[in-house]
Structure 1
Amino acid sequence: MLEKKDIALERAVLIGVITKDQNEEKSKEYLDELEFLTFTAGGYAIKRFTQKMDMPNPKTFIGTGKMEDVRQYIEANDIGTAIFDDELSSAQERNISKILNVKVLDRTNLILDIFAQRAQTSYARTQVELAQCEYLLPRLRGMWTHLERQKGGIGMRGPGETEIETDRRIVRDKIALLKARIKAIDKQMAVQRGNRGKMVRVALVGYTNVGKSTLMNVISKSEVFAENKLFATLDTTVRKVVIQNLPFLLSDTVGFIRKLPTQLVDSFKSTLDEVREADLLLHIVDISHPNFEEHIDSVNKILGEIKSSDKPIIMVFNKIDAYQAEPFDDTDLIAERTGLHYSLDEWKSTWMNKVGNNALFISAINKQNLEDFKKRVYDEVREVHVTRFPYNHFLYPDYNYDEME
């Protein structure tokens, strides 16, 4: 993914734990994701440190011996940032900073920083700033002296860069102001949604970096920003799409991720109104990812949190062009065949058995099976449309719905 010669990137070490709730394989997967987050934020993971523990150390997250190993490596290799895979308490962050004497971030801080970089509209920037302030508030103690030696870079954008933000009262006032600003913008956005009339609404949802924006561009023939980085799309984009003269609104929403910071879920609930008010959800899945089923579970959990899990959902398995099953040695009597060894046809059979014809397999970037995708979406949208406009369908079955708004 990265080459060490890219000296423009900030050098960092990643730190995680292996516990009874998070085995070695799971820890590796989370650190893989943390490395991608680090790259997205503008950093380069030089080395990983993991430790087996019953539970994280309440004072320093990892044990003192392992922490000393990290400190020595940081000093010997000119590392400027230590990134932890789980959210640190304010006490843990202070203690670790004193020992390592470098910038200390956790997964939450890293994701917030990426959101700060990606926010393009004033609404998104306001939501991110609110989340940052809520994250910062319980960590103000000793924050200013901690920040004086950490100028700029990953995790240092937004609130926390000025001395005045270390005052709890000012931060609380700022939070109240940001919430009021978001509430005012929410009213404007509600009016905008109301002005769209009764057109059927379809929302793209899914884990981050599964190809939602690419699919949006292909279907709506628009130019929504898309790249192979996490959270490439932060602002919700809505486009009018017409399939066989039947118009509907298609929205591309922010991607989800495991261990999504609570502050972001709360702050972006208003943005996710597009999901809550949708008539149909297209759950986009990167089937080429070895743990895509866990991604599905993570997305479903967040849909439950925003009370949208009961909506009609079509599972759209994207990136079939990139899918490769791991080879399986059937002569090995000990080896166990798992989903990693399934062929694409086997996955199709598995998910067809689970959700019937609500499972589609496509490649947005190569435009594979898009006609089947459009036909399935058309059928679902038309069913909603007939229910909403029964008079037109009864009298004018050949009506050109593209003329309707």
Structure 2
Amino acid sequence: LLLLTLSSGAMGAFGFLIVFCLIFDSRSLACGPGRGFGDRRRPRKLAPMSYKQFIPNVAEKTLGASGKSEGKITRDSERFKDLVPNYNPDIVFKDEEKTNADRLMTQRCKDKLNSLAISVMNQWPGVQLRVTEGWDEDGHHLEESLHYEGRAVDITTSDRDKSKYGMLSRLAVEAGFDWVYFESKAHVHCSVKAENSVAAKSGGCFPGQSQAILEDGRRKYIRDLKAGDKVLAADEAGQAVFSDFLLFMDYDTKTQRQFTVIETAEPCRKLRLTPAHLIFIHNSASEVIVTFASKVRPGNKVLVSEDTPGLLSTATVERVYTEEHYSSFAPVTTHGTIVVDQVLASCYAVVEDHKWAHRAFAPVRFGHRFTSTFLPEKRQNLTCQRDGIHWYAKMLFHISCWVMDAQSFHPLGISNLN
């Protein structure tokens, strides 16, 4: 009777309580990734970066770091509106030009800088973060410098104690800058990816034109799935089942994203999914394991559906490449799996542990069973979702950050959640 009287807000709070207990229950954490995952996280001792060291260990303008330059931004540029001022009182801006240009930066750069400012005050009480160079409109840097786009800052501490700069560099890495370089004895250089680059590569989804297989054998576009649909999936034993569609973890009708394409020859199948999405493959011992789509290579074996509905078999990956498509959707089913374009994939992304993710979505399955039994007229509302990441998925991510190491997450998977 109590459950019947719960409002939607109370149901959300109830779900939070369940997932909180689920995540911190030692039995649930026993299978989690990483050493000592079930134990309380101990503070990690940070090591200062070495002079001239850069992280990640690739060139700044490569895909694995901040990415290529997209051209200078001037005050007359259309893109100038994308720069935002930073008036954080905990940051000292040198502002040599007296134009406040150093305060202008992209939103991503601002977010990382504000996070670093907190870390600096915690590391050295009474000391603040100092920015010596931000957006540059005067041409003081090399032609393709990210300073011209508001994507780079040069930083020191407010006391200008050079002995602190190695640790300052490490704190910048921890704050989430996409590339950090202990460039000189006078400052540390930090930069971030372009806003559209982050959106294009992040998340865990399928393009909208991908298709699921319904119980009656019909195909349906992923974007058109609704409450009540049963789609082809697989159970824990790897057997084909038809599973209830629950909701979209991510629903984006506008953004152009980069998708990994996994193609098999016999039978011919082609699955498109974002790099941070999980997929099932057979290893050399014929065991089914879960990995990120970005790790799949030719020669791996994936599970595909036969032309006869309800049967799954293995197929060898022949090609892996990338494509770009507009719109992306991340459906969740009761079994946590789904066959998309006749290839079996997980419903989950970002963390390379399908079982952990499936346990974490137990409250969603509980809510589905509850509404199906007691409030069937409300089921349709569960899948009515505006563009964006579902609140529950965002909440899980932030809770996970407390209990898991950063290495547990796919870097492209969390970019749009930071």
Q: TM-score, normalised by structure 1?
A: 0.26
* Structure number with higher helix proportion: 1
Instruction: Point out which structure has higher relative CO (alpha carbons under 8 A, 6+ apart).
Output: 2
Provide the TM-score with structure 2 as the length reference. Answer: 0.26
